Amino acid sequence: MPIVGITPPEVWSDLDHRIIQDGQGAVKKVTNIGAVVSSIDNILGTIQGERVMLPPFAARLAQVIFEPMTEDLINFISREVKDVIERWDDRVDVTGVSIFSDPDSNFVDINISFRVKGYDEIFNTDVRFGANQ
């Protein structure tokens, strides 16, 4: 449990995946768990071939978003989310993936539970993926 008034040391840092400005007008930086969440968002939001020097870096979610939301597709999305996050971010063990879909709106809300290796706490993040992000 963090001690009030004590800032934990910065272990990881990344640009905030929402691309918002900090108080000085630069892109806001996130640290520690925020950096891990940003990494997860980047992994899931990258389309196959989008990273020029690393074309395999991607999730296959964009390929299935307009498919009928069947139990098989929900299982595929759950497996894909777990596999792709654990493949591209070796800090993370995905402990659960929950899918909430609205087929009429062509999107899915994905809740990801994860543990950062070396820590006991389980964290959660939500990602909305689809036509109406």
pLDDT digits (tens, 9 = 90+) for 35-80: 899 899 999 989 888 888 998 998 998 888 778 888 999 999 999 9
Report if pTM > 0.85. no
Q: What is the pLDDT of residue 97?
A: 97
pLDDT category of residue 20 using cuts at 50, 70 and 90: confident
Q: Which domains does the chain have, with CATH numbers?
A: 13-130 (3.10.450.40)
**pLDDT at site 51:** 87
70-127 confidence digits (pLDDT tens): 899 999 999 999 999 999 999 999 999 999 987 677 778 999 999 998 888 999 999 9
Residue 2 has pLDDT above 80, yes or no: no
Where does the chain show beta strands of DSSP type E?
13-15, 29-31, 92-102, 107-116, 122-130
Q: Which 3 state secondary structure label does DSSP give 47?
A: coil
pLDDT at 133 over 70: no
Say if CB 91 and CB 12 are below 8 A apart: yes
Query: Exposed (0-12), middle (13-18) or buried (19+): which is 45, by Cβ within 10 Å?
Result: middle
Host H or E run for residue 76 = helix 71-88
